[in-house]
Structure formats: C-alpha cells, structure tokens
Amino acid sequence: MTTIATIDVSSLRPAPPRPQAAAAHGAVRWRVEDVEALYALPFMDLLHRAQQVHRAHFDANEVQLSTLLSIKTGGCAEDCGYCPQSAHFETGVEASKLMPLDEVLQAAQAAKAQGATRFCMGAAWRSPKDRDIDRVSAMVRGVKALGLETCMTLGMLEAHQAHSLKDAGLDYYNHNLDSAPEFYGSIISTRTYQDRLDTLAHVRDAGMNVCCGGIVGLGETREQRAGLIAQLANLDPYPESVPINNLVQVKGTPLAGTEPIDPFEFVRTIAAARITMPRTMVRLSAGREQMDEALQALCFLAGANSIFYGDKLLTTSNPQADRDRALFERLGLKAQGGQPVAQNG
C-alpha cells in the first residue's frame, strides 16, 4: 500500500532553489544555475529532498531490473570518445553482424528467467538502414511476446523509422544527450547535439517513450553536469527514462585515463535527475561494477530505481546477477513488477 503517492512534496522542500514557473511548450523549467544550486546543497539535504520526491512518485524499495544485449557490436562509424565500439579506436572489440532473431529471443528468455522485466537491445550503428529496422522489428515483437518491456538503442533515426519501431510495439527508444551542449563537441565530432535532439523529436512524435540520459566522468565540469540535467529536464515533456552512466574507462579510447569523478558527485547527479524529473525512471547504468555496495545504496537513496542486471552491459562487464540479488536482499529491495528474483540454479 503506497498512500505516500499523494503527498504534496512542495510543502516538504527546503526553500531554494525552485524551478522556473513556466512550463509551457519549449519553456525553460530548470535553468542551469537552478540545477547547480541543487548540486551545491549539503549532501544530506540534497539526498533528503531527492528521497522525498522519489517517495511521492514511487515505492522507494522497488528497483526495476533491466537486461542489456548488444545485438550488433563494434565497428561503429561514430567517434564518441568514451566508447569501445567506435571503429576510430583500437579497443580490441571486434565488429560483428546483427545477431540472429532466435539468439536474441534466447537471451531475452534467459533474462526473464533471472528476474528481469525489461530488455534493452543496443546496436553500434550511427543510424540503422530501413532493412535493419525490419529485422529489429521482429526482435521487438518476439521479446514483447515474452512479456518483457522493450527498449532499443540503434543510433539516429529518421521519422519513418521511429514510426516503424512504434508499430512493432517498441516501448522505449534510448538515445542519450550524453553531456552539456557546450562540452559535447569535445567528446564527439561525427554528429551534432542537434542531430541527437532531432532523433529524440522523431521518437516522441512517433508516440514512443523516450529514454534519454547521459554520461559523467568525461572530464566535464560540475556546471556541465548541471547543464546536461537541465537539458534533459527541459525536454517537453521530460524523458520517461533517464540513464545516468559513469564512464567505464576502456583502454584505447581517448577518454581512458580521465580523472574519475568523486563518487558523491555521481550520487549528486542521480539526485539532481530525480528532483528535476520526478516521475522518470532514473537508471543507475554503466559504471556500477566499479562502485562498492554502499555507493550503490546511496544511488538508490538518491532516487535511482532501475539497474542493468546481468553480467554484461554491451561490451564491458557488470556485477554478477547473484551479487545483485544479495545486495537487494541486504537492502530489503524488491525487483519491480516482476516475479520474485530467481535464485541460483
């Protein structure tokens, strides 16, 4: 029973900062300085506020389990400085062809058996061709038939491709803004911020849920982290799903060797996402294997309510499922919307 869902959190909030009043189409609801002011709160106040917002909209003891599968790995034409799948860098990731449908469905079935309720399929494409859309549409239908929520991330989409994916039944399309507009160009040169926004508009116009977040630890400033959160929060409407990735440093990528961000700064980023986008699913995404359990618990306290579950992200590793099950047990967390999480064996 969750009577907390009706609490008006505005009466519980510490006074500053407040978003801009206007919420009309295209209006700025969160200025970068408003988000910076959130980051600047004492850590305990920030977490308290994030937890209040979180509890007003979600069961604070539930976390969604989402499993990722790379359906087409490596050889990507883009030059995203963090990514092991770019053909521009020597990372040892081999380029592969699109995975056959039956293998995708086997992986989805296995993820479901482990307790996942969401299945996210990623392809290392700059943008898919129309014939690729036909092939991945069959994957969407098959995975949905298993009763799993579906998400895909395939690169830039044209409007008609977004409509085809919607027609296939795709629930969410993931396409990240990744960083603040003014920092973006120092990380990626092969596409623009506006290209990203255009794809997001096609996804929105086609009627799909938008999954859009970013990545921190790229060497950006706090102001730029706040700039990313403000960009996301000012999308109208804001995304239904916001993955927050912490850079997984991969040898051979230009960003390997970057100074990692303070772990508490990562937690602050989660909290800022939760406060500025109260109803979104905030996904504690890449970088979890490099975090200890106490830090992950702080991320949940800050309002993260989804994780990638299973021993692999796309090409890098993720905590083993049994470690995650043990963590949930210790924290009294339950997997959202699914059957009880399967035990070993």
Residues 24-63 as x/- pattern, contact with ligand SAM by CB under 6 A: ----------------------------------------
Q: Determine the Cα–Cα distance for residues 84 and 63; give it in Å rounded to an integer.
A: 28
Active site residue 299: no
CB contact at 8 A, 271 and 47? yes
Of the pair 80, 136, the CB lying nearest ligand SF4 is at: 80
The answer to the question of residue 111 lying near ligand SAM (CB under 6 A) is no
Tokens coding 57: 């909209």
CB contact at 8 A, 170 and 138? no
The answer to the question of residue 284 lying near ligand SAM (CB under 6 A) is no
**175 contact choice in ligand SAM, ligand DTB, ligand SF4, none (CB below 5 to 8 Å, kind-dependent):** ligand SAM
Q: Determine the Cα–Cα distance for residues 344 and 333; give it in Å rounded to an integer.
A: 18
Q: Determine the Cα–Cα distance for residues 301 and 304; give it in Å rounded to an integer.
A: 7
Residue type, 146: L
Region from 87-95, 111-119, 122-130, 264-272 binding ligand SAM, contact rule CB under 6 A = 122-130
282, β-bridge pairs: 242
Q: Determine the Cα–Cα distance for residues 275 and 58; give it in Å rounded to an integer.
A: 13
Region from 140-148, 190-198, 243-251, 296-304 binding ligand DTB, contact rule CB under 6 A = 243-251
> Coil, strand or helix: which one is 113?
helix
Exactly one of 280, 285, 305, 306 binds ligand DTB (CB under 6 A); that residue is 285
The answer to the question of residue 217 lying near ligand DTB (CB under 6 A) is no
Write out the binding residues for ligand SAM, residues 127-166 only, by CB under 6 A: 153, 155
Of the pair 246, 336, the CB lying nearest ligand DTB is at: 246
CB contact at 8 A, 67 and 309? yes
Active site residue 83: yes
Q: Minimum Å distance from CB 9 to ligand DTB?
A: 27
Selecting among 191, 196, 204, 211, the annotated active-site residue is 211
> Coil, strand or helix: which one is 141?
helix
Region from 11-19, 233-241, 244-252, 321-329 binding ligand SAM, contact rule CB under 6 A = 244-252
Of the pair 117, 174, the CB lying nearest ligand DTB is at: 174
Phi, psi of 292 (to 5 degrees): -85, 175
DSSP string, 254-284: TTTTPPPPPHHHHHHHHHHHHHHSTTSEEEE
**161 contact choice in ligand SAM, ligand SF4, ligand DTB, none (CB below 5 to 8 Å, kind-dependent):** none
Q: Give the total of residues touching ligand SAM (CB under 6 A).
A: 18
Rama region for 287: left / alpha / beta (φ>0; ψ in -120 to 50; rest): left
Selecting among 29, 55, 76, 225, the annotated active-site residue is 76
Residue type, 26: G
Active site residue 151: yes
Residue type, 151: C
**315 contact choice in ligand SF4, ligand SAM, ligand DTB, none (CB below 5 to 8 Å, kind-dependent):** ligand DTB
Catalytically active residues, by annotation:
76, 80, 83, 120, 151, 211, 283
